[in-house]
Structure 1
Amino acid sequence: MQRRFALWIAPWAALAALAPAAASAGSPAAAPTPEQQATAETDRTNLREFETRRRIAATHPNELYRLYGAEAAGKGEWRAAADQFRRAARYADKYSQHRLSLIYWHGLGQPADRALAYAWADLAAERRYPQFLLLREKMWLELSEAERERALREGRALYDQYGDAAAKPRFERALARARAQVTGSRTGTSVDRVQVSAPLGGGSLFDGGDSIDLRPMYAQWRLDAHRYWAVEDAIWQSAGSVDVGLPETLNGTP
């Protein structure tokens, strides 16, 4: 049950496009655009999918801001996407830190900054998830000596605010506030065993016609920070089949 809930919430994050978009069948291979390099296929969702994720993420600011960032990226609103991923990054969200590295590398919504992109990639790789480590090392090989020196300076400042030492306690405080708002059963029934739902787009809470099952939102492991990080680590450590594409050159400059 724990694994099912984890993958129901996280596949759009854990398996999002770390590789270049492939050329369509039968057409000549074309270099992916910067937007394709930085956009995940799952950034684009229908209303029901988005609303389901939004409500389940309500107790977890990292997931909520990550969702808003993905939505903005799917619309090509890169400055807004960067703002939302940065908010998620404050709550130790490594995937959002990875997305910021791609946005800065490709110069989407702001001028390209490869040194800052590497600093975000290094931060995303803090827990040594294989995909993020590989991308970080590929970026490092592309940097000039001057860019490497500045990347290290940028990285120290980012770690002070977004590294796990600062960001995990921030997340834990937010989760504690959310946990305090969860109401259990007066008869001792576990919330995991009851139907918790909300209407989608109007209607009665009790009609059951078009509702969202919110039980994953109250799963006990999601309300325990240590268990939450353990599940996230297991997902990322096991996602070994995801390919990471080489960073593209910018404006013809290697």
Structure 2
Amino acid sequence: MVSTPKAPDPKETAAAQAGMNVDTAQAQQLTNMVDQVGPDGSLTYTQSGRNTFVNSQGQTVTIPKYTATTALSAAQQAIKDQTDSASLNLGTIANEQSNFLKDYLSEPFKADTAEAEARLAELGSARLDPQFAKQEEALRTRLANQGVQEGSEAWKSAMGDFSQGRNDAYNSLFLSGRSQAMSEAYAERNQPLQEIGALLSGSQVQSPQFVNTPQASVGGVDYAGMVSDKYKAETAAAQSKMGGLFGLLSAPFGMFSLGA
């Protein structure tokens, strides 16, 4: 007697497929984890333990865990040690020097330009006064030669223009000198901050550089598809056999029908 094949258990098929997928994943990982050795260092993979998880069937699955280790060559390691030591020193100095910043920055900055202005006045007296004295004497002589009487409107106008020019020269001297003095005062104020900033820039923490996790390309086994194809083939074969038996059973009845 021909019977229809029993349909495969979906849970058993899924569990078998999952197991094969895990096997494929491990094969993929092992295939791609290739140790590397170069002039500046090496990269090696070692099994460092195991990871476990519970799958959808409630089963505990254990898979290996690997560690990628990067090692520098002796020369590169020596350079790194020296660089790390220098960075640590710079950071330590910056930390020590920054202790005074709390009090230093808590006081409002006031640029004292009195000393600079006194120096400007001294320079003006030494350099500008003799020049203006000569120019004033020459102006008086020229006005006298031109017949312009002292005290006249023309004389007052000429001397007024001369005085205005002298005042403008002194104002320009004091304004430019005061601006320069302020710039120098601010530069002196910022000098400690710039030095600490430079120290910190030389002691920046370098983020670790990790290699990318290997990506595998091994094709997985379609176990569920193969089970389904096998079941379909067995079902078709059983139906074919059953069709043949039905033909044989119906043959005698056909013979009677022909005889009538």
Q: TM-score, normalised by structure 1?
A: 0.19
| Greater share of strand | 2
| Greater share of helix | 2
**Which protein has the larger Cα radius of gyration, Structure 1 or Structure 2?**
2
